[in-house]
Amino acid sequence: MGSQIIGFTDWFKTPPGEYLLAWERERFDQTVADIFGYHALQLGLPELDALRANRMPHQWLALQGLDPALAAGGKGKDAPAKPLRVALLSDSAALPFPENSLDLVLLPHTLELSNDPHASLREVERVLVPEGRVVISGLNPASLWGLRQRRAHFYRRMGYGELFLPEAGEFIGYWRLRDWLRLLSFEVESGQFGCYRPAVSRASSLERFAWMDGVGERWWPILGAVYFLVAVKRVRGMRLLEPNWKTQTAPATAPAALANQVRRPGAF
């Protein structure tokens, strides 16, 4: 598991990796800024401070086999500019949190590196509170980048060729992931694709095709190199009750109508 994560980390230092990471950083900032609660967890990818725009008082960064000094503000050349939350070592399929305890869980490329992505999603469902949110980003196999990766795998079997994307992990399709979430009673709140530039390795070539981001978002939105998804945990039979601030007054009692009575002579 450790070698897989290191391979992914190295790829994020390449021009296409930096381009993709910048797009994801903007999406996470926009999304988590308006999600409120008390406890938030980012699982994996310490290169991305995905919780920096969130205001929850308790935040954690769970790492899978990496040196926590990266998240604790270590002094190495790869250390982030500022400390990244409270770091802990944990398996994505066995989180050290009780049931229904987290309001927000972020999975930036976490499922791709998990030995059992199904178990990781079930664990996220366990620790999230009802109406809690999970935010997932992943590489899209149905994209120009995914096509080049499959072609590179074919050439490598013939003895030559070089992979464009990290070899580690399994890239999970967007619609396949939506089916998994639906089986776990998650409701997909929003989905988005990004990074439409071709699979080129040089920074100058990526800049030359910058115009494709706007065109791709308009004309072939589901073919972006990366997808970004927000889902809400729904619990059947549960309804959140809001306080009733309006005092309900009892209706006035209407007087009962009496029939006219004719007094008989001699009656009192």
Note the pLDDT of residue 90.
72
Checking if the pLDDT of 37 tops 60, the result is yes
Under the banding of pLDDT at 50, 70 and 90, the label for residue 164 is confident
Q: Count CA atoms closer than 13 A to 16's CA, side-chain side.
A: 22
Query: What residues does each domain of the chain span?
Result: 2-233
Note the pLDDT of residue 72.
46
Averaged over 187-200, what is the pLDDT?
A: 94
Note the pLDDT of residue 125.
95
Length of the chain: 268
| Residue 91 φ/ψ, nearest 5 degrees | -85, 140
Query: Residues with Cβ < 8 Å from 30, sequence gap 6 or more?
Result: 53
Lowest mean pLDDT among 40-49, 106-115, 144-153, 249-258: 249-258
pLDDT tens, position by position, 38-83: 999 999 888 899 999 999 999 999 987 654 444 444 444 444 444 4
DSSP string, 143-186: SHHHHHHHHHHHHHHTT----SS-SSS-PPPHHHHHHHHHHTTE
Q: Are 64 and 87 in contact (CB under 8 A)?
A: no
Note the pLDDT of residue 69.
46
Averaged over 164-168, what is the pLDDT?
A: 73
Task: Give the residue among 172, 107, 109 at the shortest CA–CA distance from 133.
Answer: 107
Checking if the pLDDT of 161 tops 80, the result is no
Query: Residues with Cβ < 8 Å from 40, sequence gap 6 or more?
Result: 32, 51, 54, 56, 58, 59, 60, 102, 103, 104, 105, 106
Q: What is the rounded distance in angstroms from the CA atom of residue 105 to the CA atom of residue 31?
A: 12
Note the pLDDT of residue 73.
47
Q: What is the rounded distance in angstroms from the CA atom of residue 142 to the CA atom of residue 101?
A: 35
Note the pLDDT of residue 230.
97
Q: 2-233 in CATH: which number?
A: 3.40.50.150
Under the banding of pLDDT at 50, 70 and 90, the label for residue 119 is very high
Averaged over 189-201, what is the pLDDT?
A: 93
Checking if the pLDDT of 167 tops 90, the result is no
Note the pLDDT of residue 115.
85
pLDDT tens, position by position, 202-215: 999 999 999 999 99
What the block records as the tokens of 233 is 């945990």
Q: Are 97 and 127 in contact (CB under 8 A)?
A: yes
Note the pLDDT of residue 83.
47
Averaged over 206-226, what is the pLDDT?
A: 92
Q: Is the pTM of this model over 0.85?
A: no
Q: Are 56 and 40 in contact (CB under 8 A)?
A: yes
Query: Residues with Cβ < 8 Å from 5, sequence gap 6 or more?
Result: 44, 64, 65, 66, 113, 168
